[in-house]
Chain A
């Protein structure tokens, strides 16, 4: 064994010294400052959560705080240091959204099942207060005695009575009146003025003063603090048995386990509330006739639309990138800047513009470009499909152009030079060298673009609304409906209201489909094999 040379020795010592030397001081200060601020904010959040007793969120926040500190204060853990900020945002604003939408799929959240059971009970009680017909309007003054509220009412005939919660009205004397003859003060009580009423309005609004000892005679309530009316509740809630009873017919409404109170013949009280329904939404999703019927055709079109959109935009984008990639050409910048224009406009604005352009009788395209032709761009099923694809091409080719330009730039020139020296023509160079390299780097973008267009709700909805619909064939889906627009219509419109639970179930199903297709796509292109370098 040779003795270690002075050179390697030195180098080893240098490296050892380097390992132990402090990193740049400025870097350390910056890191500590940022970490300090983040920790302070997190501690504050923990404090507030603690006060609000949100234990689940509190626990999560504690875990996140610990993770952040461990990652940034420990030496090493480099990947985590770089990934943590982005992943944090991802986790909170994307992953949580997906998970929560997934959760909604297992509930019946939607119109009619909007909130909690208590809210539903409160709302039913509120709307079941009906004013007794032909009952008079009472002039009201709200009185306060040692914190207990009372109503001082003057009926149209001038009779004055006072009462309170569970204290039926009783006539009084010795009251004071104001100019209109309304009784507005009573000895021993303090009269509340408007601001006093506002301060206790929740209590006053809930106050029901019985008219008399007979519970069926109704009670007085006030909507605005200066007038009272006689109300009868048509539905009484019994907390012990958790039922509503109709006062006139005696019908009983029970919790039917589906988020509503229903009587024996199935009539439900409105509103209901949100409950977990397990897999019911998924069964409905597969069982709804209005979806299942056109499902095959719509799925086929959705796949074609996504695939063709990607293919056409990529082809045009690539073609243009190659065309403008020539060093000798002047004015490249000019063309490139203007080609970006369609991409610069918000997509839905463009959709509305094209909608006008393609109008059969009045649109620019028919009148000017085709010289007065009568082409039914948006009302013929196949032409509508073409229109939608053309609009998507128009919207998307600048993005592909940009990406391909960048990707082409990064292909080393030596490769093409070498090939040209070997005698290959420009088309072979492109086909055998540039295109494969390009595809490798661009493939995941194409797949993501496919996924995006699979769910491209805006373009379709703006241009055709999913139509045209073939009503004669009884088909509920339009010729350009994607799965997502179909879902939107079924879940949000044409049924009896918005059904978020059903919509979320569909969203999960579509997400799974798209994810599977994408994974297969990734495998096929073997793009990520490159990662294993």
Chain B
């Protein structure tokens, strides 16, 4: 390289700026740690947590940083980020993520201590995996049967009753649909159809004595499941179930007063009330003789396994988020029944919450085992095929069970 004025000028500039930058950044060392709790929360709950965070900071001197994320992204981002050491300390999440989180070693157990008895039993069970409790629950939700009392004054005893009443209304021209439940043309909705399936005696996995699932024993098959499959085909044929009616459409039609029954959860109640429909929240009628127990979904907070602030995080969760004031505030924002028993009882003054809670009292948590992933896709696709009459229901159901068992084993 020729040494001329150009080169000298260049080297000079480089040296000067380089030294300057290096000098003023000399002590940027390790990132600051301790003293700040990073919490991932979604947009809805962020507002409530802001107050709690401020309170915590004032009482305990530990700052809480709320990062708002899209709820659907939280689980996967958490699993990816924790091993890098840059993950959050606490996240909000659904209970059925737990199996995945434990499988990836990213979540730390939480000790509720004596407070465990203060929460709904199903909530604590949902937040546990293989005997360890991992999350602090804050809400419990389940679906129930919403009934338009103007169209159907009495609660149905069984599914057949409900359909008969609905059909009569359709024939008389007072309604357009006998029964509404939101499905999907490609994946049906096993979650919503589950209580009907449970009433035939076919839960997903076998339920052990302490209320948890045994992921090695698939209970979808057998006579109960096959009877359910046959019934699904019948309903599909009769037009009671229509996979083209999505959740949105179902809500819109029910809000327009076109159906007497709607199988859905508390998230749709505000829209229904706003439209002026007089509704009642009933237990889901049995179709197969046994109780129609819905899936219970629990939401709560988890602590990262690599958090450097485990003590502060535990304190924040158990003593602050687990307190009645916060549980009630979260309930008011989200409309989901609180997991803390005292808050739950206070919330009973809201008739809707009480009604959903009564239905959910019999419910079982959705399985949180990692093996569930293998179940959903086949389960949904098979239900679509059965409802649309694309084959013999029992055969399709058996094929599904075999396929799922193969996936879980292999």
Chain A residues proximal to chain B, CB less than 8 Å: 28, 32-33, 35-37, 39-41, 43-44, 47-48, 51, 69-70, 73-75, 111-112, 114-116, 119-120, 122-124, 126-127, 129-131, 137, 194-195, 197-199, 201-202, 204-205, 222-227, 229, 270-271, 359-362, 378-379, 464-465, 467-472, 474, 476, 478, 489, 493-498
Task: Looking at the assembled complex, report how far the CB atom of B270 sits from the nearest CB atom of chain A, in whole angstroms.
Answer: 22
Residues of B within 8 A of A469 (CB): 186, 381, 384-385
When C-beta atoms are compared, the residue in chain B nearest to A38 turns out to be: B14
* Interface SS, B side: helix
Q: How far is the CB of B108 from chain A (nearest CB, A)?
A: 6
Q: Check A43–B18 contact: CB distance below 8 A.
A: yes
A–B pairs, 14, beta carbons within 8 Å: A36-B16, A39-B14, A39-B18, A44-B18, A47-B22, A73-B6, A75-B2, A127-B109, A198-B309, A201-B34, A201-B308, A202-B310, A471-B384, A496-B374
A28 and B373 CA atoms in complex are apart in Å by: 62
Q: What's the minimum C-beta distance from A217 to chain B, rounded to whole angstroms? A: 18
Contact check, B374 vs A36: say whether CB atoms are below 8 A apart.
no
Q: How many residues of B contact A (CB 8 A)?
A: 79
Given known pairs A223-B111, A225-B315, A471-B382, the reply for A489 and B377 (CB within 8 Å) is yes
Residues in A neighbouring B227, C-beta threshold 8 A: none
Task: Give the A-binding residues of B (Cβ under 8 A).
Answer: 1-2, 6-7, 9-10, 13-14, 16-18, 20-22, 25, 28-29, 34-35, 60-62, 76, 79, 82-83, 100, 102-106, 108-111, 113-114, 131-132, 185-187, 242-246, 249, 305-306, 308-312, 314-315, 318-319, 370-371, 373-374, 377-378, 381-382, 384-385, 388, 390-391, 396, 399-400, 403, 407-408
**A474 to B308, alpha carbons, bound, how many Å?**
49
- CA A3 to CA B29, docked complex, whole Å: 73
Residues on A with C-beta less than 8 A from B131 are: 130
A114 interface neighbour in B29, B83, B391, Cβ under 8 Å: B83
Interface centre among B16, B102, B311 (most CB of A within 10 A): B311
**Is B310 touching A201 in the complex (CB atoms < 8 A)?**
yes
Chain B residue with minimal CB distance to A474? B399
- Flag if A496 contacts B309 (CB, 8 Å): no
Q: Please give, as numbers and ranges, the residues of chain A lying within 8 Å of B319 by CB-CB distance.
A: 224
Across the A-B interface, how many residue pairs have beta carbons closer than 8 Å? Answer: 218
- Whether A112 and B103, one on each chain, are in contact in the complex, defined by CB atoms closer than 8 angstroms, is yes
Interface contact A43-B22, CB-CB below 8 Å: yes
A493 cross-chain contacts in B, Cβ below 8 A: 373, 377
Known: A198-B312, A271-B103. A122 touches B10 (CB 8 A): no
B34 contacts which chain A residues (CB < 8 A)?
198-199, 201
Q: Once the chains bind, are B390 and A129 in contact (CB under 8 Å)?
A: no
Residues of A within 8 A of B370 (CB): 111-112, 496-497
Q: Answer whether A36 and B62 are a contact pair too, CB < 8 Å, given A112-B103, A271-B102, A495-B374.
A: no
Contact between A74 and B1 (Cβ–Cβ < 8 Å)?
yes
Contacts of B315 in A (CB 8 A): 194, 224-226
Which of A51, A224, A468 is close to B186, meaning CB atoms less than 8 Å apart?
A: A468
- Using known A-B contacts A112-B104, A489-B377, determine if residue A131 contacts B407 with beta carbons closer than 8 Å: no
Across the interface, do A494 and B314 meet the contact criterion of CB distance under 8 Å?
A: no
CB distance from B268 to the nearest CB of A (A): 18
Which of B28, B314, B384, B399 counts the most A-chain CB atoms under 10 A from its CB? B314
Residues of chain A within 8 A of B187, CB atoms compared: 465
Contacting pair A194 B60 (CB below 8 A): yes
A379 to B388, Cβ gap below 8 A?
yes
Contacts of A201 in B (CB 8 A): 34, 308-312
Known: A465-B186, A470-B390, A496-B374. 6 other contacts (CB 8 A): A28-B9, A44-B22, A223-B310, A271-B104, A471-B385, A498-B76
Residue of B1, B110, B244 most packed against chain A (CB within 10 A): B244
- Pick from A47, A120, A129: contact of B109, CB below 8 A: A129
Contact B18 A495 (CB under 8 A): no
List 5 tightest A-B contacts by C-beta distance, closest first.
A123-B105, A271-B105, A115-B83, A36-B13, A472-B391
A35 touches B14 (CB 8 A): yes
- Are A224 and B377 touching (Cβ within 8 A)? no
Name the B residues within 8 Å of A497 (CB-CB): 100, 103, 370, 373
A65 nearest CB across to chain B (Å): 10
User: Which residue from B25, B109, B407 sits with its C-beta under 8 Å from A44?
Assistant: B25
Separation of A382 and B344 alpha carbons in the complex (Å): 52
Which residues of chain B are within 8 angstroms of A204 by Cβ–Cβ distance?
A: 311
Residues of A within 8 Å of B17, CB to CB, are 36-37, 39-40
**Interface pair A124/B105, CB less than 8 Å apart:** yes
Given A225-B315, A271-B104; A378-B62 close (CB under 8 Å): no
Specify the chain B residue showing the minimal Cβ separation from A40: B17
Instruction: Please give the distance in Å from B23's CB to the nearest CB on chain A.
Output: 10
Closest residue of chain A to B129 (Cβ to Cβ) is A127
Selected contact of B306 from candidates A119, A127, A472, A496, CB within 8 Å: A119
Chain B residues, CB < 8 A from A229:
111, 113
Residues from chain B with a CB closer than 8 A to the CB of A225 are 311, 315
A40–B10 Cα gap in the complex (Å)? Answer: 12
**Minimum CB distance partner of B5 in chain A:** A22
Give bound CA distance, A271 to B319, whole Å: 29
Interface centre among B110, B131, B373, B400 (most CB of A within 10 A): B373
| B373/A496 in contact, CB under 8 A | yes
Closest to A112 in B: B103
Instruction: With both chains docked as a complex, state the minimum distance between the C-beta of A500 and any C-beta of chain B, in angstroms.
Output: 9
CB distance from B50 to the nearest CB of A (A): 21
Q: Which of A199, A270, A470, A471 has the most C-beta atoms of chain B within 10 angstroms of its own C-beta? A: A471
Using Cβ atoms and an 8 Å threshold, which residues of chain B touch A496? 370-371, 373-374, 407-408
CB of B385 within 8 A of CB of A472, answer: yes
CB distance B21 to A40 under 8 Å?
Answer: yes
Q: Within the complex, what minimum Cβ distance (angstroms) separates B190 from chain A? A: 14
B355 to chain A, nearest CB (A): 30
Instruction: Please indicate the chain A residues that have their CB under 8 angstroms from the CB of B305 in the complex.
Output: 119, 122-123, 126
Give Cα A196 to B117, complex, Å: 30
In the complex, are the beta carbons of B61 and A195 less than 8 A apart? yes
**Which chain A residues lie closer than 8 Å to B309 at the CB level?**
198, 201
Beta-carbon contact of A494 and B374 below 8 Å: yes
- How far apart sit A270 and B107, CA to CA, in the bound complex (Å)? 12
Report how far A493 CA is from B216 CA in the complex, Å: 19
Q: How many Å lie between the Cα of A469 and that of B314 in the bound state?
A: 46
Q: Would you call A111 and B13 a contact (CB within 8 A)?
A: no
Q: Give A496 to B372 CA distance when docked, in angstroms.
A: 8
Interface pair B28/A48, CB less than 8 Å apart = yes
B306, A32: Cβ atoms closer than 8 Å: no
Q: How far is the CA of A271 from the CA of B80 in the complex (A)?
A: 14
- In the bound assembly, the distance between CA atoms of A385 and B51 in angstroms comes to 51
Q: How far is the CA of A111 from the CA of B13 in the complex (A)?
A: 50
- Please state if B60 and A127 are interface contacts (CB–CB under 8 Å): no
